[in-house]
Amino acid sequence: MILYHGSDVKITRIDLSKSKPFKDFGKGFYLSDNETQALDMAKFKSSLSGRPPIVTQFYFDLKGLSESGLKKRLFDSYSDEWLDFIIANREGYEVEKYDFVYGPIADDKVGFQLRRYKDEIINRKELLERLKYMKGITFQYFFGNDKAIKFLTNL
């Protein structure tokens, strides 16, 4: 299967040291199965840097990964379990680490919505609704270490 990474640089080699902490599924490399979503992310990053948007494609050996024995976490929809995982990672709580995580993309305003939730401006049910990606459900693929990244081939 083909996955996409939106940025303002061409990814020729995945370098996890450049990954940022406190993201939805933790510090790692993120891809989408939706090229439009990846392009939107690339355009956003481009707007910050002034460099052109770039979408890098990767072949993902899904069958190999499923047979790998890696520690995986899968979320097939927006749920309370997904929300708890997002909150824990975004807030920097100690959470169980995974090699690979698959689940829905949260809306880009995660930090803002989490602050509103912590300040009791919105409740948990409303938080879950507001974190749903507004352009329809799109899934993200998280690769947390080199063991998982070996199932990706740069195209």
| Number of domains the chain contains | 1
pLDDT at residue number 146: 95
Compute the distance between CA of residue 110 and CA of residue 24 in angstroms, rounded to an integer: 9
Task: Give which of 27, 129, 122, 48 is closest to 82, Cα–Cα.
Answer: 129
pLDDT at residue number 112: 81
Q: Which residues in the chain land under pLDDT 70? A: 108, 133-136
Beta bridge partners, 63, equal none
pTM for the full model? Answer: 0.87
Task: Give which of 87, 112, 114 is closest to 23, Cα–Cα.
Answer: 87
Identity of residue 91: E
pLDDT at residue number 134: 62
Within 10 angstroms of residue 60's Cβ, the number of other Cβ atoms is 17
CA 133 to chain centre: 12
pLDDT at residue number 141: 97
Residue 132: both structure tokens together = 């749903």
Per residue in 32-46, pLDDT tens?
A: 999 998 999 999 899
pLDDT at residue number 110: 75
Q: Is 90 helix (H, G, I), strand (E, B) or coil?
A: helix
Residue span of the structural domain in which 89 resides:
2-14+21-154
